[in-house]
Amino acid sequence: MSDRGSSAVRLHDVEKTYRAGSVAVKAIRGITLSIAAKHFTMLVAPSGAGKTTLLNLIGCIDRPTAGTVEIAGTAVARLGDNALSDFRARTIGFIFQSFSLIPVLTAYENVEYPLLLAGAPAGTRRRTAMAMLDAVGLTERRNQRPNQLSGGQKQRVAIARALVKRPALVLADEPTANLDSKTGADIVALMRRMQAESDTTFLFATHDPHLISQADTIVTLRDGQLAEPAGEAA
Amino acid sequence: MMFKIAFRSIFRNYRRSLTTMLTIAVGTAAMLVFAAYALYDVYVLQTTAVERGGHLTVYSKGFFDFGSGDPAIWGIAAYENVARLIRDDPVLKPMTAVVTPVQFLGGVAENPENGGSRTFFATGFVPADQTAMQEWNEYDIGARLENTGLHNNDPTRGVIGLGFARNLGLCESLHLADCPKPPVDMPVHEKPAEIASLPRQDFSGLSERGAAFQPAAPRIELLAATAGGAPNIVTMQIDRVERQGAKEMDDGYVVMNLQLAQQLVYGRGEHKVTGIILQLHRSEDIPAARARLNTLFAAHRLKLEVRDYQEINTYYGQSLSFFQSMFSFIAIIIGVVVLFTVSNTMGMSVMERTEEIGTTRALGVRRGKIRAQFLLEGAMVGLMGATLGVGLAFLAAAAINSSGLTWTPPGDAHPIPLKLYMAGAAGTIIGVWIVLTLVSTAAAFFPANRAARLPIVDALRHV
C-alpha cells in the first residue's frame, strides 16, 4: 500500500451530453474528481443521477462530450478505438450487475478470456485462471457454463474475470443488485478480500447500504454533478 | 477461443442453425446432383460421338467448310498410305485405338418392288473397325451404339433407318412393327429412261459369307453421282433396320460397307475416302494428337485438315452450353437463397447477443475481432452445411444410380440409364463446397459489421 493516496482516476471538468433528436440531455455536468488508488470507492447517487454514465466514462467504454479523463496515468481521450480496447484489456476490469458472463464458455474459460486478450501465454493463463477460480471458491465448478451456476456463483466468476489480469482499476456497476441479501453480503466480503489481496482500485456504482458501509471513499452524485467532495468514509 | 466461441454459439440456437445448415446442405446437394447428372449426360454424348466417329477426323483441306454438299469430289487419294502414316507414327501409335477410313455420300434410293424412292445420306465404313470403336469406354458408360451386324467380307449389305424403310414401303417385306403401309394413292416418280437403263452393280455374288449364311433380304437400289459426275447405281441388301432419334435422320439413314460406298461414289475410278477417323484411348490426348497430325501432314506436304468430334458434332457443344447455363442458373438461385438465409440467421444472432458483444468489447476485444467472430460463424455454418450437402449428394447419387431409372435423351432412339456421375465431378464438388462456404461467409458480413460498430454502452444496455 505504499502508493495509497495517489490517483487511479482523474476527471477534469468532464461533461456528457446525450442527444435525442433536437433535445440535448446533460447527464454529467462538469465533474472534476480524483479517485485514490487502491481504495474501495463507492459512487452513490439516486437513479438517473448519472452514476452509470460516469462509470462508463471512467471505464473508457464511452467518451465525454467535454473534459479530460485520465486512468492510471493515461489520458484516454487521445487513444483511438483499437488502442482504447487494448487499454481496457490491460488496465480495467468490469463487474456488471447482470454478471454478463459469456454464455458459451465455462467458468474457467470466462476467467481465462481476459488473459487471452492481454496476450498471456497458455501456461500462465492456466495457472492464473485456476488460482483465481480457487480464490473465489469455484474450482469444482470450473467446467460449468453460466446457465449451470447460481447468481452468486456467476458473480464470483465475474469477480475472478475482472481481477485475473491484475488490472489497475476494477469498475462494478450495482454488483449486488441481482443477488439476495446473504449472497450479496458474501460477494461484498469477497470483493473486499480480493481488493485487499490484489491491491487494486475498486470503484462501485451502488445503492446497496451494506456495500456502501464497506467503502474507503464515497463519492455522491446528484443531477450529474458532485453533491459533495469525495472523502474518506466514516 | 474464437473458434470455440463460434462453434458453441452456432449450436446455442441449434434449431435455427440446423435449419440454416440444412438449407445450405440441400442447395449444395441440388447443385451437385445436377452437376453429376449433367456430367453423366455429357459423357454419354461424348461416348456416343466417339464410338460413332472417333475423336479426330482427317479430311481434305476445305472439305469441312465447303465439301459437305458433294463429298465425292473431296475424297482423299491414296488414303491407305495416309492411314498407314498415321498408324505407324511413333508419337500417335500409343495414343490411338483405331484408325479407319470413312466415306460419306448422298443420293436417291429406290425400292425396285414398288418404285418408291427417296433421298438418303449414307456412311460407308469398315465394319470391323466400327465394332472396335464401339469398345471405347473411357467413362465406364458401356457401349452406346448397337453393332450394325455388318461384316468386312460382305460388302453387299447395309443398315437403314426405320423412317427410310417406311418411306420406301419396306415395312411388310422387312416385317417391321410400328411401320405403317403407305397410302394406296402414294405418288410415285416416273423413272427417267437413262436412269432405268443404267447397269446395276450387284455385289451379292462377291460376298464371302455367301447366300447360305444370309436369308434372302429385301434389296434397294442406291443412285448417286460419281466423283466424275456420272450417275451410278448399286444394289444393297437390307441387313437390319435401326430407328434413329431424329426424324430427319431416320428418314434418310443408310450405313454400309466401305467397299459398297466407294463402288457407288467412285465406280471404276480410284477409290478414295471422305475422311480418316482416329479414335484415341483418352479424350485428353486430342490436342497432342491433333498437333502431331498437323506436323505430319506439313512434313509430307499433304493437303489435309483435322477436325475433332466437338467441331463435327455441334450438338455436343450446344448441350454442354445448355447444361452450363442451367447449372449457372441453379447456382445463382441457390446462392441467393443461402445468402439471405445465412444473413437472416446471423442478423438474429447479433441481435440476441448484443449484450455479449458489449461485454466482450468492454473487456478489450477490438471491433475487428468482433467482425471476424461473426464472419467465422458464417463461414462455419456454410462449411458444415456444404459438407452435409456433399454427403447428401453422394447418398442421392447412390439411390438414383441403383434405382434402374432410364430416360431417352433428345435426338436419341434408345433410353439410357438415369445416372449421376459423382466420381467425375470432384472439381465441381470442391468448387461448390468452397463457393457456398464463401457465400455463407459473405452473408455474415453485414451482421458482423453491425455487431462490430455497436456502441459499447448501447450494447450493454440492450435487453
Residue of A nearest to B10 (CA): A104
Q: Does B212 have pLDDT greater than 50?
A: no
The residues with which A9 forms a beta bridge, in sequence order, are A35, A71
Strand order, beta sheet including A66-71: A23-36, A7-20, A66-71, A74-75
A109-113, A200-204, B345-349, range with the lowest pLDDT: A200-204
Interface contact B463, partner A, CB < 8 A: no
pLDDT of residue B65: 87
Q: What is the enclosing helix (H) or strand (E) of A222?
A: strand A217-222
Q: What is the enclosing helix (H) or strand (E) of B457?
A: helix B456-461
What is the mean pLDDT of the segment spanning B357-363?
A: 94
Strand, coil or helix: A47: coil
Spell out the domains of chain A, with CATH numbers in brackets. 38-60+80-232 (3.40.50.300)
pLDDT of residue A178: 78
Q: Is A95 exposed, middle or buried (0-12, 13-18, 19+ CB in 10 A)?
A: buried
pLDDT, chain A, mean: 87
B9: closest CA among B367, B357, B391, B337?
B357
Tell if the CB–CB gap between A117 and B363 is shorter than 8 Å.
yes
Q: Does A2 have pLDDT greater than 50?
A: no
Q: Does B326 have pLDDT greater than 90?
A: yes
A158 vs chain B: nearest CA distance in angstroms? 11
Strand, coil or helix: B55: coil
Q: What is the enclosing helix (H) or strand (E) of B305?
A: strand B304-308
Q: Does B425 have pLDDT greater than 70?
A: yes
Q: In this structure, are residues B274 and B71 in contact, taking their beta carbons and an 8 Å threshold?
A: yes
Higher pLDDT, residue B65 or B393: B393
What is the mean pLDDT of the segment spanning A81-95?
A: 93
pLDDT of residue B211: 43
Q: Does B303 have pLDDT greater than 70?
A: yes
Which chain B residues touch A109 with a CB distance below 8 Å? 1, 4
A41-55, B142-156, B184-198, B426-440, range with the lowest pLDDT: B184-198
Alpha helices in B353-406 (DSSP H): 354-363, 367-401
Q: In this structure, are residues A45 and A57 in contact, taking their beta carbons and an 8 Å threshold?
A: no
Higher pLDDT, residue B258 or B144: B258
Residue of B nearest to A111 (CA): B363
A1-10, A35-44, A118-127, B371-380, range with the lowest pLDDT: A1-10
DSSP string computed for B233-269: EEEEEEEEEE--SSHHHHTTEEEEEHHHHHHHHHTTS
Interface contact B359, partner A, CB < 8 A: yes
Tell if the CB–CB gap between B5 and A103 is shorter than 8 Å.
no
Which chain A residues touch B356 with a CB distance below 8 Å? 100, 102-103
Residue of B nearest to A89 (CA): B364
Tell if the CB–CB gap between A85 and B1 is shorter than 8 Å.
no
Tell if the CB–CB gap between A62 and B4 is shorter than 8 Å.
no
Instruction: Return the number of other C-beta atoms located less than 10 Å from residue A75's C-beta.
Output: 12
Residue of A nearest to B359 (CA): A100
Listed by number, the residues of chain B in 362-391 with a beta carbon closer than 8 Å to a beta carbon of chain A are 362-368
Tell if the CB–CB gap between B364 and A81 is shorter than 8 Å.
no
A47-61, A157-171, B57-71, range with the lowest pLDDT: B57-71
Q: Give Cα A96 distance to the centre of its chain.
A: 8
Which chain A residues touch B460 with a CB distance below 8 Å? 61, 96, 100
- Statement: the pTM of the whole predicted model exceeds 0.80: no
Burial B220-259 (b: 16+ CB within 10 A, else e): bbbbbbbbeeeebbbbbbbbbbbebeeeeebbbbbbbbbb
Q: In this structure, are residues B332 and B89 in contact, taking their beta carbons and an 8 Å threshold?
A: no
Q: Which of A51, A58, A85 to mutate to test the interface with B (most CBs of B within 10 A)?
A: A85
By Cβ distance, the residue of B8, B358, B362 closest to A88 is: B362
Q: In this structure, are residues B56 and B290 in contact, taking their beta carbons and an 8 Å threshold?
A: yes
pLDDT of residue B213: 47
Tell if the CB–CB gap between A116 and B1 is shorter than 8 Å.
yes
Confidence of residue A198 (pLDDT cuts 50, 70, 90): confident
Which chain A residues touch B363 with a CB distance below 8 Å? 88-89, 94, 113-114, 117, 161
CB contacts < 8 A (A, B): 70
Q: Give Cα A124 distance to the centre of its chain.
A: 23
Q: Which of B1, B14, B353, B363 to mutate to test the interface with A (most CBs of A within 10 A)?
A: B363
Which chain B residues touch A86 with a CB distance below 8 Å? 364, 366
B261: closest CA among B146, B158, B108?
B158
Burial B316-341 (b: 16+ CB within 10 A, else e): beebbeebeeebeebbeebbeebeeb
Q: Which of B380, B460, B462 to mutate to test the interface with A (most CBs of A within 10 A)?
A: B460
**CA A112 to each of CA A117, A126, A172, B130, B322: distance values in angstroms, whole numbers, following the listed order:** 9, 7, 19, 75, 57
List the domain boundaries for chain B: 2-45+317-461, 62-302
Residue of B nearest to A167 (CA): B363
- Count Cα atoms within 13 angstroms, Cβ side, for A159: 33
d(CA B234, CA A209): 120
B190-194, B238-242, B424-428, range with the lowest pLDDT: B190-194
The torsion of the CA quartet A123, A126, A131, A136, rounded to 10 degrees, works out to 160
Q: What is the enclosing helix (H) or strand (E) of A9?
A: strand A7-20
